[in-house]
Amino acid sequence: MDAIAEALRGAIALLASWDTQLAGIVALSLKVSLSAVLCATLVALPLGAAVAVTRFPGRRGLIVLLNALMGLPPVVVGLVVYLLLSRAGPLGHAGLLFTPPAMVIAQTVLILPLIAALSRQAVEDAWVEYEEQLRSLGVTGLRAALTLVWDIRFSLVTAVLAGLGRASAEVGAVIMVGGNIDGVTRVMTTTIALETSKGDLPLALSLGIVLILLVLLLNTAAYLVKEAAQRRYG
Partner 1 sequence: MILPLKLDRVSFSAGGREIIPPLSLEIGAGPATVILGANGAGKSVLMRLMHGLLAPTGGRVTWNETDAARVRRQQAMVFQRPVMLRRSALANLVYALKVANVPAGQRETRALDSLKEVGLLQLAHRPARVMSGGEQQRLALARAWALHPEVLFLDEPTASLDPSATREIESVIRAFDAAGTKIVMATHNLGQARRLGDEVLYIHQGRLVERAPADTFFKSPSSAEAAAFIKGELPWV
Dihedral sign computed on CA atoms, order 211, 223, 64, 47: negative
Please say which residue, 93 or 232, places its beta carbon nearer to partner 1.
232
Query: Mask: binding to partner 1, 144-163, rule CB under 8 A, as x and -?
Result: ---x---xx-----------
Q: Which of 57, 61, 199, 234 is close enough to bind partner 1 by CB under 8 A?
A: 234
Query: Mask: binding to partner 1, 108-147, rule CB under 8 A, as x and -?
Result: ---------------------xx-xxxxxxxx---x---x
Report, in angstroms and rounded to the nearest whole number, the Rg of the chain calculated over CA atoms.
21
Distance from C-alpha of 145 to C-alpha of 150, rounded to nearest angstrom: 9
Ordered alpha helix ranges (H), 18-86 = 20-53, 59-69, 74-85
CB neighbours (10 Å) of residue 114?
24
Work out how close the CB of 47 gets to partner 1 at its nearest, in angstroms, rounded to a whole number: 23
228 in contact with partner 1 (CB under 8 A): no
- Stretch touching partner 1 by CB under 8 A, among 6-14, 17-25, 196-204, 225-233: 225-233
Distance from C-alpha of 166 to C-alpha of 95, rounded to nearest angstrom: 26
Interface positions with partner 1 (CB under 8 A): 129-130, 132-139, 143, 147, 151-152, 229, 232-234
